[in-house]
Structure 1
Amino acid sequence: MSLDAPSPHGSTRRRPTWLLGILPLLLIVVTLGGFLALDGPGLGDRNGPPVEEISVERTTLKPGLIDLQVRNDGPDAVTIAQAQVNDAFVQFSGGERPIPRLGVETLRIHQPWIEGEAYEIALMTSTGATILHPIDVAVETPGEDVSFLGLMALLGIYVGVIPVALGMLWLPWLRRVPASRIRFLMALTIGLLAFLAIDATLEGLALAQQGSQAFGGSALVWTGALVAFLLLSGISAFMADRERRARAAGAGGGTLALLIAVGIGLHNLGEGIAIGSAYATGALALGAFLVFGFALHNTTEGLAIVAPLADRRPRLARLASLGLIAGAPAILGAWIGSAAFNANLAAFLFGFGAGAVVQVIAQLLPTIRDDQERTLHPAAVAGLLTGLGIMFATGLLVSG
């Protein structure tokens, strides 16, 4: 019988649209409810030992103490029975009760440690499984007080805000560049951004391996990239109308510059997270040379922002806002990385930054086409390779 069967009086009785949409959902709920009420018929008890997987999400070192924040990645509850440091059994507190799936517990290991030494911690479960966690260099974790957060903010300004602002000083020079060379400079901008996208993706994949695999592992990076690409595409489409109206009024060019600043800002957010977390664990040598390397590496990002504005005369306030959008996220990232670092969140954010940069590249590609509608003409290829080369060369200073 049709849902829209005619009535005895000849009229058609139509069911409400919402009822037609919710009916399949109700049937699914009833089916699953019956399955659970019958205690999962056919599944039976699982054979074999329980599956125990533990990931260490954060390590905090204080005098005489090592705190480990652990998460249960496996499907079964886990009980930590014993702990070893460099093959010696040690006392610990926390984890007395079973840790449920995806549950988080902080284990406090009572163990004197020596700064600069390497340690290997072994956590043994009640079934005898062993989870190893290395500490490459033992350094006391800084306290999360106002002075420490101020230091992280200062570091974010040095490696994010100031370099981008300095790079934007190329705008007067860009205005004097012949129009025939603008395609080369836009291609160079794409090369700079392509390096950032690759770098963010690789950083995210590395962090995903350190985090809880129950949340998806490397899939977090690709999910973050897809979300950012779609989100920024929607924003770009929304702003396209405003850009057309602005061009009709004699302005314009700001939308593309804003999208570039947003993409770079998201990348610098991930970079700040990496810097802050490394500083908190003592893995980053904060020497003047390293800060100089970061600054030089990020200065080219300012050039990428102002390249679409070469034929415009934006107000100083507009330029300042673009610089802050691109550089200030490094401060927020440094705070997150040093005070509340989470490898899963960091992996997602690195992927998010990479996806945003890729979307910006898609917006820039039409600007480098020549008169024959070719994208990879000689000038464009030269610009792309130059941009990649600049970022690779300055990146050596950061890793050196």
Structure 2
Amino acid sequence: MTRTDIPTTAGPAEGAAPRRPKPRWLLGLGPLVLIAVLLGLFSLLNGPGLSRLGEGVPPKEDVAVEDIRLTPGQIVLTVRNQGPDPVSIAQVNVSDYYAAFTQTDDVLDPMEASSITVSYQWIDGDPYDIALVTSVGGKISASIDAAAPSPERSSSFFGLMALLGIYVGVIPVAMGMLWMPFVGRSSAGWIRALLGFTVGLLAFLTFDATLEAFELVAGNSSFGGPLVVILGALISYLVLEATDAWMRRRQDPADVRQKTALSPGRLALLIAIGIGLHNLGEGLAIGSAYAVGSLALGASLIVGFAIHNTTEGLAIVTPLAHERPGLGRLVVLGLIAGAPAVLGTLIGATVYQPTLAAFLLGLGAGAVGQVAVKLLPMLKDGTGRTLTPLTATGIILGIAMMFATGLLVQA
């Protein structure tokens, strides 16, 4: 007898089509759907087996007062629950007097905001201490340094805010760009000094906006608190970097060397965008401060803002020293840098929210910081050194100028 070999594994049938692999998008989406289903079930079942963890633990109450407006006979507060547990406001105390009040929501869920209208005959110019007492006895404190009626938000008010944005944003930047003829006739050494001045200016704006944003959310942990400032700065920095890289690949696909160089026109545009984002946050802070009556806008303060922002126009035109940009191009760059101040004042006067203001200031800080980094290679002299006595002096003068003019706008 002849022994027949029997195969140990069964292969695919002869002529059968190979199994098609699953789409890659489905492999990526599957775990996300499973995670969402599991989290949904966990939430619906209220954490099976964990219901006793919170027994005997008092609720954590963390409420922030985001806005205070004064109208005749009333104090209107905007509060937000930034804690993990629901909060109910039971009483309102104004300078040791328990006042009657109404609120849009009786119970504040986590991250929810409410408007509390307090009936109180306040006196113009007097200071007041406000305490919101919760249903479990907690206290949320706020203060009014000097009572003054909040401006009425009418069409004339918004027209005033737009005019204010033009005064502190558009006009100063345009005035600074008048140095274009001076920059165009400067020597190479002077250009490096002016570029150093621009780096110092941008560096000051970066730190100034960051510190101001941190101050806005110092006692407010809703939406991440100080983390929103860092998030805003990272977003604007990375977006500008990615946009710059995309523009290089698109405009210079064949020249490898050009890909690593930043053209003066593109650099001026990046400076205008960075300054514009900064002026958006600055305008928002100005508009909101005036809307709540904490900023008295006199002619001297407007002049201070104008002087402080005039140097921003110089920063925009300095990279264009060896070019002859047309008037239309300069106008566009000026509007990109200055017009966001108008938008900022209107937003700040309408829907002020400290976390939003801090986020926008973070955007501006990241943007001007990115542009400052892009400017550094242009400071190099013939020997390849970036920090020479000339450029270092320019950087110091830029910081000193912004610091000195910043003292004019302290309010």
State if a TM-score over 0.5 links the two structures: yes
* Alignment of structure 1 residues 319-358 onto 2, 5 Å: 319-358=330-369
SS in 2 for 1:89: strand
1:390 matched to 2:397? The reply is no
User: 1:157 Cα deviation (Å)?
Assistant: 1.0
| 1:101-122 deviation per Cα after TM superposition (whole angstroms, max 9, x unaligned) | 1112111100011111111111
2:240 aligns with 232
* Alignment of structure 1 residues 251-400 onto 2, 5 Å: 253-399=264-410
Larger Cα-atom Rg: 2
1:121 aligns with 130
Amino acid in structure 2 at the alignment position of 1:143: E
SS in 1 for 2:75: strand
SS in 2 for 1:209: coil
Amino acid in structure 1 at the alignment position of 2:224: G
Distance 1:69 1:37 in 2: 32
2:222 aligns with 214
1:187 aligns with 196
For structure 2, the 5+ residue unaligned runs are 1-9
Amino acid in structure 2 at the alignment position of 1:60: R
Distance 1:36 1:253 in 2: 55
2:182 aligns with 173
Kept in 2: contact 1:243–1:253 (CA 8 A) = no
Amino acid in structure 2 at the alignment position of 1:15: P
SS in 1 for 2:217: helix
Distance 1:26 1:90 in 2: 51
Moved over 3 A (4+): 5-12, 29-39, 241-245
1:102 matched to 2:108? The reply is no
* Alignment of structure 1 residues 50-69 onto 2, 5 Å: 50-69=59-78
Amino acid in structure 2 at the alignment position of 1:354: A
For structure 1, the 5+ residue unaligned runs are none
SS in 1 for 2:386: coil
User: 1:216 Cα deviation (Å)?
Assistant: 0.3
Range moving further from structure 2, 291-300 or 279-288? 279-288
Alignment match of 1:20 (pick from 27, 51, 54)? 27
Kept in 1: contact 2:92–2:101 (CA 8 A) = yes
Range moving further from structure 2, 189-198 or 178-187? 178-187
Range moving further from structure 2, 347-356 or 278-287? 278-287
Change in 2 beyond 3 A, CA 1:71/1:195: same
TM-score, normalized by length of structure 2?
0.90
Amino acid in structure 1 at the alignment position of 2:21: R
Amino acid in structure 1 at the alignment position of 2:106: R
Distance 2:33 2:306 in 1: 58
Distance 2:286 2:117 in 1: 26
User: 1:8 Cα deviation (Å)?
Assistant: 4.7
Kept in 1: contact 2:105–2:114 (CA 8 A) = no
| 1:130-170 deviation per Cα after TM superposition (whole angstroms, max 9, x unaligned) | 11111112111111111111111111111111111110000
Distance 1:333 1:312 in 2: 32
User: 1:352 Cα deviation (Å)?
Assistant: 0.4
| 1:299-348 deviation per Cα after TM superposition (whole angstroms, max 9, x unaligned) | 10000000011111111011011111111111111111112111010000
Range moving further from structure 2, 195-204 or 180-189? 180-189
Alignment match of 2:213 (pick from 190, 204, 210)? 204
Change in 2 beyond 3 A, CA 1:32/1:155: closer
Change in 2 beyond 3 A, CA 1:7/1:56: farther
Range moving further from structure 2, 235-244 or 75-84? 235-244
Percent of residue pairs identical: 53
User: 1:381 Cα deviation (Å)?
Assistant: 1.0
Range moving further from structure 2, 17-26 or 88-97? 17-26
Distance 2:277 2:400 in 1: 22
User: 1:56 Cα deviation (Å)?
Assistant: 1.3
* Alignment of structure 1 residues 40-55 onto 2, 5 Å: 40-45=47-52, 46=54, 47-55=56-64
1:32 aligns with 39
Amino acid in structure 2 at the alignment position of 1:27: L
SS in 2 for 1:98: coil
User: 1:28 Cα deviation (Å)?
Assistant: 2.4
TM-score, normalized by length of structure 1?
0.92
2:6 aligns with none
Amino acid in structure 2 at the alignment position of 1:238: W
Range moving further from structure 2, 82-91 or 71-80? 71-80
Kept in 2: contact 1:6–1:13 (CA 8 A) = no
Distance 2:349 2:180 in 1: 35
User: 1:34 Cα deviation (Å)?
Assistant: 4.7
Amino acid in structure 1 at the alignment position of 2:264: G
Amino acid in structure 1 at the alignment position of 2:283: G
Distance 1:346 1:175 in 2: 37
Amino acid in structure 2 at the alignment position of 1:92: F
User: 1:241 Cα deviation (Å)?
Assistant: 4.5
Change in 2 beyond 3 A, CA 1:253/1:127: same
SS in 2 for 1:122: strand
| 1:161-180 deviation per Cα after TM superposition (whole angstroms, max 9, x unaligned) | 11111100001011111112
Distance 2:33 2:223 in 1: 29
CA RMSD across the alignment: 2.1
Kept in 1: contact 2:67–2:292 (CA 8 A) = no
Amino acid in structure 1 at the alignment position of 2:273: V
SS in 1 for 2:141: strand
Kept in 2: contact 1:118–1:136 (CA 8 A) = yes
Amino acid in structure 2 at the alignment position of 1:41: P
| 1:87-109 deviation per Cα after TM superposition (whole angstroms, max 9, x unaligned) | 11110011562111111211110
Range moving further from structure 2, 8-17 or 384-393? 8-17
Kept in 2: contact 1:80–1:96 (CA 8 A) = no
